[in-house]
Amino acid sequence: MTLRRDIAIITCALFITLFFAIYILSTNQILNSFTKLEEDIALKNVNRSLNILNNEILKLDAICYDWAAWDDTYEFVTDLNEEYIESNLVNSTFTGLKLNFMIFVNISGSMIYAKAFDLENNTVVPLPEGLRTHIKYLPSFNENASDLGNLSKHGLIDINGKPAIISSRPILTSNDEGPIRGALIIGRFLNQAKIARLSETVGLKISLLKYNDSLNFLENTIIGVKPLSEGKIVGYALLKDVYGKPAYVLKTDMSRNIYLYGVKTVRYFIFTIVLVGVLFSVAIILFIDRSVLSRISLLSETVSKIRKSRNLKERVPVKGNDEIAKLSTEINEMLDKIESYYQRILKLNEQLRVLNRILRHDMLNNLTVVKSALEMMKTEEESAEVLIDYALKSVDRSVELVKDVRELESAIITETLKPINIREVINDVIKNYPEISFNVAGDCTCLADKALYSVIDNIISNAVIHLSLIHI
């Protein structure tokens, strides 16, 4: 596995890990923020719907107050005059006030007059039976109240399974004075048409649901919101009847535009992270490849090429002033030393080859002398003493030659040259040839090593053996 692959894998692994960490943290944070904002706005919309319904109830209560605190109504509950009925309790009153029923109750709580009206068909209809059970509970006849004009019961009521808003006011004079002569109860059914008009007013789809166990989660919260899907959220408001008991739930349907916008934001955010992460990873990989890996690869290829070609004069390229450039410089300096040592080894090898030739030549000469002396002893052409003396001298020269070679080897390795007097060297060498007469003239000094003795000795030995000279 190459460094490029390692770095690519590590970079991708780090990017994926960082991506998932950012994705989990940021996604939860962003979506939670949008969800909280959506819930806040949904609660405001539910409150708006609830306020509109409450305004309808308050408007109805205001109508009831106008009719209950009126001298004509005050007299009507006493004498039930037809003029009041014919003048006021006509069909146009119900259509104009959008009322479904009006009930007049005397001070004893007995219903003395009632009329129900169908607003959709514009016809008079019988009073709903379910309404009769509420009549004795709705009137307020508290004579001890400080303000009789504020004695009122209004709110929501269930009549035969149908929701209706209702208001009950004590019948007083136009000056809100008593004694109380009875109560006026008016109401309006909240049918689909009325709910549709309320929806148009609030700008949202609202509906009334019968309170049951499936909606009992609102018993302690009054108002709540609940997402149904990614595109829909529903707000609920608990509606209690005039008796203070849960009766209906006001449901408000809303689209989850804010949440969907949050999802879209998260997607853009993730796309941006992926795009930036990919570009950043590619940039890092390219930077490392160009500034490090490619230079290391070039350095490796150059060193390998030098190794294979054995061309110690070639050098690795040096670019920049960083650690890799310093490494290239160190390698070049190492190659300089290797080249220097290599040249020195070549020189030593050459010198050793010369030394070897000299040693072989001198040793061969000495052994030849020994052999000749032994052969002459065998033929007894000369006296044994003289021949043995020749042989011993040849052996001594061989021993001296080995010593000289050892010193010469040390001199070659250390490469130290010393001033040597040539005349003294010649005088030392000619002592090995007592039977030859020498004429040495002149005197000089040169820088040399022990090999000079072998050179002079080889010259004299060759002259004696090959030229048979007796005077040199």
Amino acid at 444: C
Burial code (b: 16+ CB inside 10 Å, e: under 16) for 390-400 equals bbebbeebbeb
pLDDT at residue 63, as a whole number: 94
- The torsion of the CA quartet 257, 261, 264, 268, rounded to 10 degrees, works out to 170
pLDDT at residue 225, as a whole number: 81
Query: For 174-191, what is the mean pLDDT?
Result: 88
pLDDT at 426 over 60: yes
pLDDT at residue 1, as a whole number: 47
Query: For 262-268, what is the mean pLDDT?
Result: 82
Of 471 and 221, the one with more pLDDT: 471
pLDDT at 148 over 60: no
Q: How many helices (H) and strands (E) does the chain have?
A: 12, 12
pLDDT at residue 407, as a whole number: 62
Helix (H), strand (E) at residue 301? helix 294-309
pLDDT at residue 450, as a whole number: 67
pLDDT digits (tens, 9 = 90+) for 52-67: 989 999 999 999 999 9
pLDDT at residue 115, as a whole number: 93
> Whole-angstrom distance between the N-terminal and C-terminal Cα of the chain?
77
Classified as helix, coil or strand, 102 is strand
pLDDT at 381 over 60: no
pLDDT at residue 65, as a whole number: 92
Specify the range with the lowest mean pLDDT, choosing from 1-15, 314-328, 401-415: 401-415
Specify the range with the lowest mean pLDDT, choosing from 66-70, 239-243, 354-358, 403-407: 403-407
pLDDT at residue 143, as a whole number: 55
Query: For 134-151, what is the mean pLDDT?
Result: 65
Question: Of the segments 182-191, 256-265, 295-304, 372-381, which one has the largest average pLDDT value?
Answer: 182-191
Of 431 and 140, the one with more pLDDT: 431
Of 392 and 134, the one with more pLDDT: 134
- At 300, is the pLDDT very low, low, confident or very high (cuts 50, 70, 90)? confident
Query: For 17-37, what is the mean pLDDT?
Result: 80
Sheet bearing 153-159, strands edge to edge: 123-125, 111-118, 101-106, 182-189, 162-170, 153-159
pLDDT at residue 413, as a whole number: 57
This prediction has a pTM of 0.57
Query: For 204-217, what is the mean pLDDT?
Result: 74
User: What are the two backbone dihedrals, phi and then psi, of residue 249, each rounded to the nearest 5 degrees?
Assistant: -125, 125
Query: For 162-167, what is the mean pLDDT?
Result: 91
Token pair, residue 323, equals: 């650690």
- At 423, is the pLDDT very low, low, confident or very high (cuts 50, 70, 90)? confident
pLDDT > 70: what percent of the chain? 81
Give dist(CA 66, CA 143) in Å, integer: 19
pLDDT at residue 184, as a whole number: 92
Query: For 41-58, what is the mean pLDDT?
Result: 89
pLDDT at 145 over 80: no
Query: For 183-202, what is the mean pLDDT?
Result: 88
Of 219 and 469, the one with more pLDDT: 469
Specify the range with the lowest mean pLDDT, choosing from 39-48, 93-102, 406-415: 406-415
Q: Scan for tokens 């309006």, then name that residue.
A: 188
pLDDT at 472 over 80: no
Of 121 and 305, the one with more pLDDT: 121
pLDDT digits (tens, 9 = 90+) for 301-343: 887 887 787 777 777 787 778 777 788 888 888 878 887 877 7
Task: Report CA-CA distances (Å) from 152 to 62, 69, 148, 156, 261.
Answer: 10, 12, 9, 13, 47
pLDDT at residue 114, as a whole number: 93
If 0-12 CB within 10 Å is exposed, 13-18 middle and 19+ buried, where does residue 117 land? buried
Task: Report CA-CA distances (Å) from 461 to 125, 208, 363.
Answer: 161, 138, 12
pLDDT at 154 over 80: yes
Token pair, residue 335, equals: 């190659």
Cβ(328)–Cβ(318) below 8 Å? yes
Residue 334, C-beta contacts closer than 8 angstroms, at least 6 positions apart: none
pLDDT > 90: what percent of the chain? 14
pLDDT at residue 165, as a whole number: 92
Give dist(CA 422, CA 33) in Å, integer: 106
Mean pLDDT of the chain: 80
Of 386 and 32, the one with more pLDDT: 32
Specify the range with the lowest mean pLDDT, choosing from 1-15, 139-153, 282-296, 424-438: 139-153
Q: Which is nearest to 28 in space by CA: 262, 277, 276? A: 262
